[in-house]
């Protein structure tokens, strides 16, 4: 059975659903400005599949085509940006080594940077290192009462972990845990009191996951919540609802 949305549509939704809207008012020691900038770069820089990398590289080489050459250049820029984002979060983490929020984002960014390296055939342990950092962040945040703006750090870390586990290759066997963590965030008693930016990002990721699994009614439910609460993702949610009608 075909997915409800095409692969291209899902990728676009995942970018729109990213966690750039999570940053709220500063309630922690690190620089919120630096944090917001790094988060925005993390979700706005797409990871590169091996097929995409090879196709663009071959076309640019064989055809000496200007457009494909530009596409290859964009891929190289994307790879560099992903690595820079990972470095930014890891540098912030070095300043606050026990901060589970920074650790979760550093882990997510490190894992994402590894996908670009793997696509080019480079050897790297960044994927395992990144997911290990996310696991540690989950442990550290499990009993945390700290807040990041209106969002409990424990909830935000769980969402970052869920997003990461759902994005890594299936061979790592993290997808089931990612889906469960996403459900845990939505079912948490504090979720309703969090900032609408955060709720919108969580609902959107839940909607895209439901769409990937061909659960149309569930996808509509989360998209309806986004529109009803006038979350920042409302326009995108309304467009996606039309595709499900």
| Residue 124 Rama label (left phi>0; alpha psi -120 to 50; beta) | beta
In this prediction, residue 234 carries a pLDDT of: 93
Domain ranges within the chain, ordered by starting residue? 26-146
Entry pTM: 0.73
Helix then strand then coil, in percent of the chain rounded to 5, is 75, 0, 25
State the Cα–Cα distance between residues 149 and 227, nearest whole angstrom.
23
In this prediction, residue 83 carries a pLDDT of: 79
In this prediction, residue 46 carries a pLDDT of: 57
> What's phi and psi for 23, nearest 5 deg?
-60, 125
In this prediction, residue 129 carries a pLDDT of: 93
Mean pLDDT per block of 10 residues along the chain (245 residues) reads 43 39 47 71 58 48 43 53 81 90 90 75 85 96 90 93 88 93 97 93 92 93 97 92 85
């Amino acid at each position: 059975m075909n997915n409800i949305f095409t692969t291209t549509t899902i990728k676009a939704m995942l970018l729109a659903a990213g966690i750039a809207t999570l940053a709220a008012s500063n309630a922690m020691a690190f620089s919120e400005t630096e944090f917001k900038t790094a988060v925005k770069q993390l979700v706005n820089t797409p990871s590169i599949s091996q097929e995409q990398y090879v196709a663009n590289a071959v076309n640019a080489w064989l055809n000496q085509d200007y457009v494909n050459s530009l596409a290859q250049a964009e891929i190289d820029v994307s790879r560099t940006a992903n690595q820079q984002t990972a470095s930014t979060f890891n540098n912030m983490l070095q300043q606050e080594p026990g901060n589970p929020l920074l650790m979760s984002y550093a882990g997510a960014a490190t894992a994402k940077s590894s996908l670009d390296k793997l696509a080019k055939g480079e050897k790297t342990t960044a994927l395992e290192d990144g997911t290990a950092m996310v696991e540690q962040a989950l442990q550290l945040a499990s009993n945390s009462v700290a807040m990041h703006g209106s969002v409990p750090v424990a909830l935000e870390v769980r969402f970052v972990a869920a997003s990461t586990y759902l994005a890594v290759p299936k061979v790592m066997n993290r997808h089931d845990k990612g889906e469960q963590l996403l459900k845990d965030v939505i079912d948490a008693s504090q979720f309703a009191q969090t900032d609408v930016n955060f709720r919108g990002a969580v609902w959107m990721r839940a909607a895209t996951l439901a769409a990937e699994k061909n659960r149309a009614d569930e996808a509509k439910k989360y998209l309806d919540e986004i529109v009803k609460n006038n979350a920042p993702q409302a326009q995108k949610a309304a467009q996606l609802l039309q595709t499900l009608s």
